[in-house]
Amino acid sequence: MLFCDKISFRVMSGKKTIIIGNWKMFNNIHQSSTLLARLHQNIDSHRDVEVVIAPGFLALQPLSLEIDGRRIKLAAQNAYFKDEGAFTGEVSFSQLRNLVDYVIIGHSERRIYFEESLDLIRDKVAACVRNGITPILCVGETAEERKYKETKTVLHDQVTTALANLTAEEVAEIVIAYEPVWAITTFGGEIAKPSVVKEELQFIRKQVGDLYGGSTAKKIRIIYGGSVDDNTIGGYLDIEGCDGAIPGSASLNYHKFSKIVQLANKKTIKRK
């Protein structure tokens, strides 16, 4: 049995659904500011939905002065695990303190293009927590790994290694995003069926429960990514135990992203 029914979304109904817009390497500072202004105009404050945007590094500081933190929070897309030192071109988690609430760690594009290893991602997660920032840990298998039925092994290795240096209390506060590489537009963009996503979300939560106990597994937010947009978000949020989503390209369109947030709010209210 992959999943215990006691570890479910409904058990922890006080958790906020989280919607994270990953802007990747798009938009200069002016474009980012304009997009944020549009989001302010179109996204209301929702008690049960947390909205996060992850612009490029250059836009983080100016947007931090413009953003309405009651409605939208900031995330960085990456950081280096050393707090300081002679690491030309890098940005540390300590430098991001008091600037962002979240940092995306282990995104498939980082793992593939920049060859980020399991150990490096583990060190980044620990550094993120050490500096008082919440990690958004991305995990997921490639098309080839899924073809050869290696999905569970890949997810097990990615989750257990990344969380290795954290306490149960720390793990309960992080976000894990299941982003199968084969479902991301960058890598082909095959739409994942909610039934497939449900199985892997359950497996990830079970891994957390096996490592840190049922209470931690109930509290942690596990979300879905993989080319989520305003047309597909509803099916994923209907999955029991899915605590949100991390749209990519859809988050660059304020109409689509605002609709995603609105749908998430409706789904969250319905679940109560």
How far apart CA 260 and CA 39 sit, in angstroms, is: 12
Encoded tokens for 56: 């490029």
* Amino acid in position 134: T
- 53 contacts 74 by C-beta, under 8 angstroms: yes
Question: Can you spell out the DSSP letters for 23-53?
Answer: -TT---HHHHHHHHHHHHHH----TTEEEEE
How far apart CA 84 and CA 157 sit, in angstroms, is: 28
Q: For every residue of 70-88, which 3-state class applies, written as one string?
A: CCEEEEECCCECCCCCCCC
**Among all residues, which ones are annotated catalytic?**
107, 179
Encoded tokens for 106: 């282990």
How far apart CA 127 and CA 124 sit, in angstroms, is: 5
